């Protein structure tokens, strides 16, 4: 299985400015969401820079677990230097599950690469005899 990794998502323009911009999520080795950034960024470069700052600041982070929905559910949040940096992607029924999820996020954030790996380009199949393959069609005697 792979390692935890950051997923960078560029959201299309929207009338609500809080729903636009570039955001990050941390995925576990099994591709489940471990956490997400709390801010949207103007572009991928700014988002990657924020991931690097978060990774460097993990040792001085403040972890907050709070009840939501009248204490029925639990969510975690990570603060660095008084600023909310990351949060859980969902709410948990049990506080211990929320605490465990936060631990997975912290371990994943420490070990994940700071930026996304560029996708490998798969070669497009080219029909035989196509000029793109560097030759004449088969049987043309060329």
Domains of the chain: 5-116 (2.30.29.80)
| pLDDT band at residue 133 under the 50/70/90 scheme | very low
Is the backbone of residue 67 left (phi > 0), alpha (psi -120 to 50) or beta?
beta
Residue 114 in this model has a pLDDT that exceeds 70 = no
Rounded Cα–Cα distance for residues 7 and 60 (Å):
24
User: Residue 6's pLDDT band (boundaries 50, 70, 90)?
Assistant: very high
State the average pLDDT over residues 17-46: 89
Task: Tell me which residue of 47, 44, 45 sits closest to 36, measured CA to CA.
Answer: 47
> Full-prediction pTM beyond 0.85?
no
pLDDT in tens, 33-52: 999 999 999 899 999 999 99
Kindly report the backbone phi and psi dihedral angles of residue 31, in degrees, each rounded to the nearest multiple of 5, phi listed first: 70, 15
CB-based burial, 25-61: b 16+ in 10 Å, e otherwise: bbbbeeeeebbbbbbbbeeeeebbebbeebbeebeeb
Residue 121 pLDDT > 50: no
pLDDT of 122 over the 50 cut: no
């Amino acid at each position: 299985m792979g390692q935890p990794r950051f997923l960078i998502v560029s959201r299309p323009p929207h009338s609500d400015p809080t729903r636009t911009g570039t955001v990050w999520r941390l995925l576990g080795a099994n591709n489940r969401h471990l956490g997400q950034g709390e801010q949207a960024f103007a572009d991928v470069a700014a988002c990657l820079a924020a991931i690097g700052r978060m990774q460097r600041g993990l040792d001085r982070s403040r972890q907050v677990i709070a009840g939501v929905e009248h204490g029925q559910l639990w969510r975690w949040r990570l603060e660095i230097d008084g600023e909310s940096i990351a949060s859980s992607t969902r709410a948990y029924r049990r506080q211990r599950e929320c605490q465990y999820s936060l631990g997975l996020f912290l371990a994943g954030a420490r070990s994940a690469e700071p930026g996304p790996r560029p996708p490998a380009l798969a070669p497009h199949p080219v029909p035989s005899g196509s000029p793109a393959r560097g030759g004449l069609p088969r049987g043309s005697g060329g």
